[in-house]
């Protein structure tokens, strides 16, 4: 084993004067593992400072070996964490790490009018403007991009990064791609490494890079989402209109219309088949034989595609998307990408769809993790490592590094209680149960002067409980809810009842801080947030069961561990620093009945009590909140 570099040498890449004990543990453990030729999987609670510790370790290791660092993020907001630490490293220690950020083109475009377009339309407009030399930012980029733009910069957000390039008259996206080989660190969205069919690529040398993946518990589902393709009934109807408008050859038009109407027949037949099922509103598995025979006219559609495009140009359309293109791309995808995929029919008020979904994300991620020089996978809500290993295709060449919650925060600051008098189990859901849940939430809310976060398993359950809540200070998560709006209300009055959905925007990656204090001191997790059973999850369950030879473990991987991740994320909203105190109520008898879930919760929280009377629960909450 190589000698571990002195901590003082590693600390030159740490953006603070000193590290807390949990951070020291992380830094040393990561460096020991890397020096021994191992990769690293990290679980540490939210607030510990995983980003700073991982970056310091990776940069120290990379600099000694002339390697690069790739930092993968899922959302635009998650880019702020590494950017913030790199800015502090420059400000406090004078060490400049040249880095680039790459999101999708629209997010990085200087032309605000173009951002309003649908993404495919945006890409077409972008290509058109570039081809006609009408984008001054792209023209500026083609004349050369100075490396100084990524050296010695203190930027705190993706928007400030984009503005820096726009102010220089350069395209932020293409400039960043051009400078990626000059950067020591590249911050990328998951898309660039894990989307199989991507029009935008970045030239990266994985073999000479250390890969850091944040929020890795989200990676399996993100890979599935990135690689899902669909064909909607709306797209077929739009293609018919396209043929009518832009195809002048009458014989070709008649043949094309017939081929497209055959595809509409496919949707009608699938709808009839699904309607025979009691749960006709759910996404249902279908066979290739339910789909492929209806594509017999695909050669006809391929033959007229160029004529459609020419017809649009003749009518003065310079950039445009084409629904017929989507039909052809869908067919091409489903006949060439068969391994580890399933076909599904999804009914919807907005239009039914046929989807091709990835069943085994390790098909994509396994190759990436084999190629990189080293990887560091991080999570504040890591499921059992078997889940990560199986779903991501990891080999055994990694070390698991954990910072238990009790090494970060005094367990006297957390009180966890199961309240088994309510449940969101499907066969127990009725108005009486929703009213009972609302009563418990309001009673808990009235027992504290701070904020209460109630986390629901779905928007439907939240909506049904909400109508029985009569408190005035209520913030309900909606598609239109903004994080800034929530924080403004908390700043005005911290005594807010916040209703959110497990895995939603108010639960993941947000800090309810007002000043230096957490505005939330009570968290009610309403129901066990199991994924909703579906044909898709059943196929994943079957595949895992066959792979590991243990159906019960496979069930826990698919259902229990996914629920556990969301429970940990929810609890993490109340623990953002060592000083925080939080009262956690697990509102469902299944938290106690599922032994695997109960054992994991006890391991995570040290102790979990059970109180089955509302009056005693409120007394217990008041007693905890007095301190």
- Delimit the domains of the chain by residue range: 1-97+184-224+373-408, 105-179, 229-358, 410-625
- Predicted confidence at residue 2, as pLDDT, reads 47
pLDDT tens for 549-565 read 899 988 988 899 889 98
Q: Among 209-223, 269-283, 480-494, 580-594, which stretch is predicted with the lowest mean pLDDT?
A: 269-283
Asked if 541 and 558 touch (Cβ cutoff 8 Å), the reply is yes
- Residue 480: CA count within 13 A, CB half-sphere: 0
From 1.10.150.530, 3.40.710.10, 1.10.275.40, 1.10.390.10, which CATH number describes the 229-358 domain? 1.10.275.40
User: In the CATH hierarchy, which fold is given to the domain comprising 410-625?
Assistant: Rossmann fold (3.40.50)
Residue 319 has pLDDT above 60, yes or no: no
Residue 98 has pLDDT above 90, yes or no: yes
pLDDT tens for 401-417 read 999 998 888 899 999 99
- Predicted confidence at residue 584, as pLDDT, reads 97
- Predicted confidence at residue 5, as pLDDT, reads 53
Q: Assign 501 a pLDDT band (cuts: 50, 70, 90).
A: very high
Asked if 145 and 166 touch (Cβ cutoff 8 Å), the reply is no
What's the CA gap between 524 and 580, in Å, rounded?
16
- Predicted confidence at residue 196, as pLDDT, reads 85
Q: Token pair of 380, please?
A: 């504040």
Residue 417's SS3 state is strand
Q: Assign 1 a pLDDT band (cuts: 50, 70, 90).
A: very low
Residue 7 has pLDDT above 80, yes or no: no
Query: What are the strands, taking DSSP E only, across 519-565?
Result: 520-526
CATH architecture of 1-97+184-224+373-408: 3-Layer(aba) Sandwich (3.40)
Angle in degrees, 0-180, between the axes of helices 595-605 and 561-572, rounded to the nearest 10 = 30
If you average pLDDT over every residue of the chain, what do you get?
Answer: 91
Q: Give the closest residue to 525 by CA, choosing from 463, 471, 568, 580.
A: 568
Q: Assign 320 a pLDDT band (cuts: 50, 70, 90).
A: low
DSSP string, 117-166: S-HHHHHHHHHHHHHTT--HHHHHHHT---GGGGSS----SHHHHHHHHH
Phi, psi torsion values for 261, nearest 5 degrees: -65, -30
Residue 394's SS3 state is coil
Task: Put residue 319 in one of left, alpha, beta given phi > 0 → left and psi -120 to 50 → alpha.
Answer: beta
- Predicted confidence at residue 572, as pLDDT, reads 87
What's the CA gap between 318 and 341, in Å, rounded?
36
pLDDT tens for 102-116 read 998 999 999 987 767
Q: Token pair of 416, please?
A: 């966890």
- Predicted confidence at residue 318, as pLDDT, reads 59
Q: Give the closest residue to 584 by CA, choosing from 530, 625, 543, 535.
A: 625
Asked if 51 and 81 touch (Cβ cutoff 8 Å), the reply is yes
- Predicted confidence at residue 55, as pLDDT, reads 97
pLDDT tens for 357-366 read 999 999 999 9
Q: Give the closest residue to 157 by CA, choosing from 212, 92, 86, 221.
A: 86
Asked if 361 and 219 touch (Cβ cutoff 8 Å), the reply is yes
Strand order of the β-sheet with 229-232 is 229-232, 353-358, 341-346, 284-286
pTM, whole model, 2 decimals? 0.88
Phi, psi torsion values for 577, nearest 5 degrees: -155, 170
Interacting residues of 313 by C-beta distance below 8 A, sequence separation 6+: none
The reply to whether domains 229-358 and 410-625 share a CATH topology is no
Does 387 or 442 have the greater pLDDT score? 442
Q: Token pair of 414, please?
A: 């957390």
**445 CB-contact burial (10 Å; exposed 0-12 / middle 13-18 / buried 19+):** buried
Strand order of the β-sheet with 520-526 is 474-476, 497-501, 451-456, 520-526, 582-587, 414-418, 609-610
What's the CA gap between 229 and 214, in Å, rounded?
25
Residues 27-52, mean pLDDT to the nearest whole number: 93
What's the CA gap between 219 and 361, in Å, rounded?
9
What's the CA gap between 25 and 45, in Å, rounded?
13
User: What torsion, rounded to 10 degrees, do the Cα atoms 8, 9, 11, 15 define?
Assistant: 140
What's the CA gap between 327 and 324, in Å, rounded?
5
pLDDT tens for 149-172 read 999 888 888 999 999 999 999 999
Tell me the CA end-to-end span of the chain in Å, nearest whole number. 49
Asked if 176 and 138 touch (Cβ cutoff 8 Å), the reply is no
């Amino acid at each position: 084993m190589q000698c571990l570099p002195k901590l003082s040498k590693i600390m030159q890449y740490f953006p603070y004067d000193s590290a807390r004990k949990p951070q020291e543990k992380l830094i040393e453990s990561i460096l020991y593992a890397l020096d021994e030729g191992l990769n690293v999987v990290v679980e540490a609670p939210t607030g510990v400072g995983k980003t700073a510790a991982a970056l310091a370790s990776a940069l120290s290791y990379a600099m000694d070996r002339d390697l690069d660092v790739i930092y993968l993020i899922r959302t635009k907001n998650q880019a702020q964490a590494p950017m913030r630490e790199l800015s502090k490293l420059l400000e406090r220690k004078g060490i400049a790490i040249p880095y680039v950020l790459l999101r999708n083109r629209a997010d990085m475009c200087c032309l605000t009018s173009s951002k309003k377009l649908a993404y495919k339309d945006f890409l077409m407009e972008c290509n058109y403007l570039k081809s006609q030399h009408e984008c001054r930012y792209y023209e500026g980029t083609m004349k050369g991009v100075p490396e100084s733009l990524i050296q010695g910069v203190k930027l705190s957000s993706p928007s400030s990064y984009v503005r820096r390039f726009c102010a220089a008259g350069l395209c932020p996206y293409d400039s960043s791609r051009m400078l990626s080989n000059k950067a020591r660190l590249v911050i990328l969205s998951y898309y660039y490494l894990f989307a199989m069919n991507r029009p935008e690529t970045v030239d990266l040398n994985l073999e000479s890079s250390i890969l850091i993946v944040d929020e890795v518990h989200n990676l399996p589902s993100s890979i599935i989402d990135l690689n899902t393709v669909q064909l909607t009934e709306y797209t077929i109807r739009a293609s018919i209109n396209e043929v009518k408008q832009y195809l002048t050859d009458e014989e070709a038009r008649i043949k094309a219309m017939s081929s497209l109407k055959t595809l509409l027949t496919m949707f009608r037949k699938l709808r009839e088949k699904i309607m025979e099922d009691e749960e006709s509103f759910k996404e249902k598995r279908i066979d290739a034989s339910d789909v492929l025979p209806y594509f017999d006219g695909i050669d006809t559609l391929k033959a007229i595609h160029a004529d459609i495009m020419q017809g649009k140009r003749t009518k003065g359309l310079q950039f445009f998307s084409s629904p017929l293109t989507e039909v052809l791309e869908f067919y091409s995808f489903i006949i060439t990408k068969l391994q580890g995929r399933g076909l599904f029919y999804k009914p919807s008020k907005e239009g039914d769809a046929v989807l091709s979904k990835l069943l085994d994300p390790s098909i994509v991620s396994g190759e990436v993790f084999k190629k990189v020089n080293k990887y560091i996978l991080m999570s504040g809500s890591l499921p059992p490592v078997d889940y990560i290993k199986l779903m991501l295709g990891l080999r055994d060449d990694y070390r698991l590094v954990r910072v238990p919650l009790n090494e970060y925060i005094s367990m006297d600051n957390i009180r966890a209680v199961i309240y088994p008098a309510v449940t969101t189990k499907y066969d127990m859901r009725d108005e009486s149960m929703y009213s009972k849940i609302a009563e418990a939430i309001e009673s808990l809310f009235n027992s504290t002067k701070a904020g209460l976060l109630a986390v629901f398993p779905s928007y439907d359950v939240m909506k049904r409980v909400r109508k029985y809540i009569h408190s005035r200070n209520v913030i309900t998560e909606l598609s239109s809810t903004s994080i800034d709006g929530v924080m403004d209300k908390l700043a005005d009055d911290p005594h807010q009842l916040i209703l959110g959905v497990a895995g939603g925007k108010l639960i993941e990656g947000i800090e309810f801080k007002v000043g230096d204090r957490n505005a939330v001191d009570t968290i009610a997790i309403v129901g066990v947030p199991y994924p909703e059973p579906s044909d898709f999850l059943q196929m994943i369950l079957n595949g895992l069961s066959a792979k590991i030879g243990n159906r019960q473990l496979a069930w826990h991987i698919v259902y229990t561990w996914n629920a556990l991740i969301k429970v940990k994320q929810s609890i993490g909203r109340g623990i953002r620093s060592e000083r925080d105190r939080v009262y956690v109520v697990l509102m469902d008898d299944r938290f106690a009945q599922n032994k695997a879930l109960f054992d994991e919760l006890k391991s995570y929280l040290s102790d979990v009590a059970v109180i089955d009377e509302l009056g005693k629960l409120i007394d217990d909450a008041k007693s905890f909140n007095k301190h």
